[in-house]
Structure 1
């Protein structure tokens, strides 16, 4: 009924009629404020705003605070309004309502078939703080906030160019959430950009409350455990990816930005890689690759070898392991699943508990439960060590949403290893590689540039090359690719 009342309705020249329509639309809304004014030498006026969204102090102190009656005449002129706040006009009731819901103040005047938008929004958002999940030792310390205007400013500060384009889109029939598509003109992949616009335009929903809604609605494969969009709270990461031709999507009300397309190898790249010297950054990138393999394969390999392939272990290590497992009532696979489940429970509890007690509970819980379980003979000490190493390795992955995928996949890997040994681990790895090879994100292969192979981009996967590469360094990679030129 409200939508029908506002849709295609023009603003009346009669002030009372406009007030009646707005009061009907905002029925049972205590925060809507109507302030009529009846100056002697100017037409009657009505200021409408939503308390909390509009800056009432600025309205009272700057807009409507005449010291003498003669100031009422100039108060309602276009010149005065433009000096108080950036203003615009509309003749549509629906546009006026949308402006009110976005925090703007609307000024109606008797005898005029339009109204003014006064940009007097309240600044109630969270201040700019350090990133909570993507912390670095070296580099910028600012992060996005819930205010989309602030997030745009943080990107503008880093890319001061007219090539930076920001296209706003409103999504959600009721929530009317504002999205901004960000890209660099002339650098962006036009195919990716067109797909982003097309998929967002196809969204039909009542509410968008967080960027996760957008991520799930426009991704290629919903049932894949792997994330297909990079989620970041750092404006420097967004700016760097824009220079690589990618597209970012900002969502009002959330401190995270979505970056597309995402590949598997961006998982192991941290913002700090490009602020430190390339030797240290390359070493850390290899360390993350090794820790990724540990987080995914260590429990399953341990179960497979101890259960089916004990001949692969050195004799002394086998005797030590057998002595440690003496008295444990469960087979290795059940033991590993039990400890992994408890570890995940402690990790989840540490996140949900208050910050003051969460870390203490998770650490004390792991120590007490692990030690008590070993002493009671329920689990073995080597299995506790393996699960602990797996958990620590998963924390080293820079992308939290990708670490979730590895945490999920290690459970089917454990089951396969408990059923078929190393053959099960091999089958699981082949199935995983097939899935990754078939997966695409906005038309870009997920394993690119490794599969399909692109020699010019392969070095960025395993190392962070120096920004000013020497001729010797370039020739080295040319030899590795087998494409050394005559100049060498």
Structure 2
């Protein structure tokens, strides 16, 4: 912005002209001239963007008070007007054009009075938004059914209702050079990991972008420059999951316009902790162990199948091997069958989110015929290959918490390659390399595999099994940090 246009002048028309120029004379900018007293000696103007403000609120909180006011002391008039006459909870006296532009674009109304080198911003925003609804991507079988919306104020309201504590802290920032986007950093002051909080601030402050349209921009900055398939920030749509994370000393980052929250530090064991685990009385080992086993099956089972069929078929009797492998002739090689089936299932999963609900039945029917009956009858794929691919895909559905599910697909394909060419030995080495890689990852300085690597027995109350809830609630969490973070 031109430095000559930074501050208001005493001329009302000049100030209006400057604001119009900075908004490129947009027809959406409304300028409402207003007379302050019956004699018409003093005039003012209201400037706002049509469609994003509540006009009834403008009339009641600004126009009616201005009609009955008189200017007595020019030195204190603007402050007196803002503090005692304008009926709004959010009022701010400003002197710069840049501040007025940001306010108008965020749904505020600018009040200008002739003869004064300042203006007043009044919050009159009325954004269109959907009501708080149940999440369709991350469902809670038990517990709260509500999820975040696209409005930052609504999301913070949901968290305030769940955490009614004076230690609940919300820090707001604006990101973007061309367009400003509000973000909120949320944590509990008495429980938060201070080292992680400092790192979050440093990484967000170092983010310089023209605009922030998606929360993924902020997530990339928080995750750092580490190369990995695994997500280093935990993404959720559920307010109760965020509230639980805050009680554990973590930090949540919310971006206006995105119905999700990013939680850090993110540790790998979080993806096995389903929100419903904490609302029901159950066998403490069952669901948690099933989820861990599902993780291993979904990434290793297809590769294990190929390694077994190619290198280790002597582990079964000759009759079984002859019946299931030698006597069945298919067009594609075995590795291509598995790859082709997994790819088809992946396409079906992605397509189910993109097509209309009316088309779901048709697509499901065609997929069943194509992948099942036709593929087997046409000798394109082996029946066992179809079963293996189906099991690998079904077990991945147990890992819908966060964004881990999408990260497992490339890892699964890597183990398919290893199993097909190097057998069980290669897969064991590949799994060891994967564990080493995960142990080197850091989420804002916290080891990704904590508390397993580095080992901390005191933190195992909620890893492989859900411990007693009373002990979990009363046990503060401590996160290990490297002496020098490797980002």
TM-score (norm. length: structure 2): 0.90
Following superposition of structure 1 onto structure 2, how do residues 25-174 of structure 1 map, counting pairs within 5 Å? 25-39=22-36, 40-41=38-39, 43-60=42-59, 63-64=62-63, 71=68, 77-78=81-82, 81-174=85-178
- Mapped to 1, the partners of 2:448 and 2:436 lie a distance apart of 11
Q: 1:125 to 1:376 in 2, by over 3 A?
A: same
- Mapped to 1, the partners of 2:203 and 2:228 lie a distance apart of 18
Pairwise CA distance, 1:370? 2.5
1:280-335 Cα deviation digits (max 9, x unpaired): 45311111111111111111111110111001124453233126x61213321121
1:311 aligns with 2:314: yes
Contact between 2:82 and 2:92, CA under 8 Å: does it hold in 1? Answer: no
- Mapped to 2, the partners of 1:78 and 1:260 lie a distance apart of 40
1:419 aligns with 2:421: yes
Contact between 2:236 and 2:402, CA under 8 Å: does it hold in 1? Answer: no
Contact between 1:299 and 1:387, CA under 8 Å: does it hold in 2? Answer: yes
Following superposition of structure 1 onto structure 2, how do residues 6-17 of structure 1 map, counting pairs within 5 Å? 9-17=6-14
- Mapped to 1, the partners of 2:299 and 2:364 lie a distance apart of 22
- Mapped to 1, the partners of 2:11 and 2:290 lie a distance apart of 71
Q: 1:186 to 1:65 in 2, by over 3 A?
A: closer
Pairwise CA distance, 1:416? 0.9
Pairwise CA distance, 1:365? 1.1
Aligned to 1:254: 258
Q: 1:190 to 1:78 in 2, by over 3 A?
A: closer
Aligned to 2:227: 223
Question: What secondary structure does 1:226 align onto?
Answer: coil
Aligned to 1:482: none
Contact between 1:6 and 1:93, CA under 8 Å: does it hold in 2? Answer: no
Aligned to 2:249: 245
Aligned to 2:324: 321
- Mapped to 2, the partners of 1:109 and 1:70 lie a distance apart of 13
1:325-372 Cα deviation digits (max 9, x unpaired): 612133211211121122212222222212332465145414433210
- Mapped to 2, the partners of 1:301 and 1:229 lie a distance apart of 30
Match of 1:190 among 191, 194, 198: 194
Pairwise CA distance, 1:101? 1.1
Write out the 4+ residue segments of structure 1 that deviate beyond 6 Å after TM superposition. Answer: none
Pairwise CA distance, 1:80? 6.1
Q: 1:315 to 1:25 in 2, by over 3 A?
A: same
Contact between 1:49 and 1:100, CA under 8 Å: does it hold in 2? Answer: yes
Pairwise CA distance, 1:60? 4.1
Unaligned runs of at least 5 residues, structure 2? 72-76, 476-487
- Mapped to 1, the partners of 2:270 and 2:262 lie a distance apart of 14
Aligned to 1:340: 342
Contact between 1:351 and 1:358, CA under 8 Å: does it hold in 2? Answer: no
Contact between 1:268 and 1:398, CA under 8 Å: does it hold in 2? Answer: no
- Mapped to 1, the partners of 2:368 and 2:401 lie a distance apart of 24
- Mapped to 2, the partners of 1:78 and 1:443 lie a distance apart of 46
- Mapped to 2, the partners of 1:417 and 1:270 lie a distance apart of 31
- Mapped to 2, the partners of 1:314 and 1:146 lie a distance apart of 59
Aligned to 1:292: 295
Question: What secondary structure does 2:266 align onto?
Answer: coil
Contact between 1:350 and 1:358, CA under 8 Å: does it hold in 2? Answer: yes
TM-score (norm. length: structure 1): 0.90
Compute the RMSD of aligned alpha carbons: 2.3
Contact between 2:308 and 2:423, CA under 8 Å: does it hold in 1? Answer: yes
Question: What secondary structure does 2:121 align onto?
Answer: strand
- Mapped to 2, the partners of 1:163 and 1:389 lie a distance apart of 46
- Mapped to 2, the partners of 1:102 and 1:309 lie a distance apart of 65
Question: What secondary structure does 1:179 align onto?
Answer: strand
- Mapped to 2, the partners of 1:104 and 1:70 lie a distance apart of 20
Aligned residues: 464
Pairwise CA distance, 1:6? 7.3
Match of 1:388 among 390, 396, 401: 390
- Mapped to 2, the partners of 1:397 and 1:26 lie a distance apart of 47
Q: 1:79 to 1:449 in 2, by over 3 A?
A: closer
Pairwise CA distance, 1:445? 0.7
1:235-269 Cα deviation digits (max 9, x unpaired): 11111101111011110111111100111111111
Q: 1:200 to 1:136 in 2, by over 3 A?
A: same
Unaligned runs of at least 5 residues, structure 1? 475-488
- Mapped to 2, the partners of 1:433 and 1:407 lie a distance apart of 17
